[in-house]
Structure formats: structure tokens, C-alpha cells
Amino acid sequence: MKESPKYAVITGASSGIGWCISDELAKKAYSIVAISNQAVKLKRLKSELENKYPVNVHIIDCDLTQYDAAQCVFDYCQKKNLMVEVLVNNAGILVFGDVVRIDIKNVKNILQLHMNTPVMLCRLFGEVMVKNRKGYILNVSSISSVMPYPLISLYGPTKTFLRKFTRAFRTEMKGNGVSVSCLLPGATATALYDANKINIPLALKLGIMKKPEFSAKVGVAALFKKKAEVIPGLLNKITMLFIPLFPHFIISLIYRKKKNAISKFF
């Protein structure tokens, strides 16, 4: 089988939505540059995709919270002469707790991973896409981008930045043959959530959570339809509309009375 010469760069590809997006793009004949700091899972992804599809999978075991991570990824693709047509900024971490009690390293990591690294990847690969007059970029934000809630004070606002940046960047790139889209998933059955604290099968059954395969399909479809934003699932769409209207004094009351009530919700 002939390998596909066109490539998709995907961060956080070793699990969850990133893994499923990798599968969706390989199904569309894109070879993959899969990036994560989970080397064993990346090798498993490489083996699975190369056995299923006529594509090549490059894996980069990389800590995307490092300040030079984006440049390292870009330099790798340039050195290998890979024709990158798609960029997916998916990697994310959920840091839960009061900001002043979160380890300083974790604070720096989430800021770097959700904002600096995606922006730099957009900057570096975006320039090449503009020269080629073709490209697709998908940034994975979250419905929490409309939730300025305590205990996820780092997660929600950094996802807000990524959402707003994506919309502005989309406008800049539109006349250059490059389409930029934003995927805003809600709660998804991935490693972000502790199965010991949350009944994931029940949440899936009730529609509170979605499977990563579903969010990946919706995101990739929206990317190639050149949509600005897409929210997987009706409940998530309703949440995006009504959560901003929820009186913040109620959130403050819940926070003061019982932090566990919020932690169980998220």
C-alpha cells in the first residue's frame, strides 16, 4: 500500500479525542504526526493506524508544556520534509483546585499547554500553510470556556483564550486558503476524569458525557466543512447557551458550602 504524502499534526494523540481524531484523519488518507508525552501509547497508535490504513505515522514523544515544544515539533516536520496540511491542537490537562493551593509547576504547565504552545504551533505551521495556499487548523477548546467557575479557574479561562484566539486567527487566515476551526466538547469519557469519582457509564447513558469517538467525528467533519465552531451534542449546545446566565452568587454559595459538590459535577 502506498503511504499518503499529506500529513496531519495532532497533539495529545495518545488517548481520548486526540487518538480518535488521528483515526478519523488516517481514514481520510492523512499520514499522521502524533505528539504526546506517553511513548508507549504513541507506539500502540502507530501500530494500529499503520495496520488499518495506507498511511505512515511519525511519533514524537514530547512534553508540550515546555516553552520550546512547538519549535521542536515544527523543526522535526521540516527536517523530514513532511507536507503538513492539517494541524490539530488537542492536548490538554485538567488542574482542579484553588489556584493558591495548586503546585506552581502545574500552574505554569496548564498555561503553557493551553495557550502558548497552541499559538506557537499555529504561528509556525500557519506560515507554511499560507505559502502553500492550503491548510486546516482545528483547536480544541471546551464548553467550560463560558464557565468562570472556582476550582477550574485555570482550565476554563485558558480554554476561553484558545476559543477567542481561534476566532481571531480564523479571520486573519481566511483569505489565505487556510481554514481555522474550534471544537468545543463538553464532558468526554477520557483520562481527564477520574473513574473512581465519576460514574462514567451512567454519565454516558444520561448524555452528560460523550464518547471521544463522537466528538472526534463531529470535529473533523466541521474542520473540512470550514465551520468556525462546533459543539458536539444537543445538551452541550444548551449548556453553552444557558450556563453564562446562571447567577454567579449561586456558584459562590455552592463553593463556600461544599466544594465536593462542584468537584463531582466536573
CATH number at residue 134: 3.40.50.720
Span 85-109, mean pLDDT? Answer: 95
The pLDDT of residue 173 is above 90: yes
Cβ-Cβ contacts under 8 Å for 144 (sequence gap 6 or more): 152, 155, 156, 159
List the catalytic residues: 155
Whole-number pLDDT of residue 170: 98
pLDDT band at 206 (very low <50, low <70, confident <90, very high): low
1 assigned to some structural domain: no
Residue 236 inside a domain? The answer is yes
Among the ranges given (131-145, 157-171, 237-251), the one the predictor scored with the smallest mean pLDDT: 237-251
11 belongs to a structural domain: yes
Is residue 45 situated within a structural domain? yes
Give a yes or no: residue 260 inside a domain.
yes
Q: How much is the mean pLDDT over the chain?
A: 89
The model's pTM is: 0.89
What is the residue range of 200's domain? 6-265
Helices 39-52/16-27 angle, 10° precision: 20
Q: At 195, is the pLDDT very low, low, confident or very high (cuts 50, 70, 90)?
A: low
How many domains are contained in the chain? 1
57 falls within a domain: yes
| pLDDT (0 to 100) of residue 197 | 59
Output the nine-digit C-alpha cell for 103: 503546585
* pLDDT score of 261 more than 90: no
pLDDT tops 80 at residue 138: yes
Q: What is the pLDDT of residue 16?
A: 93
In a domain, 53, yes or no: yes
Average pLDDT for residues 185-208, to the nearest whole number? 63
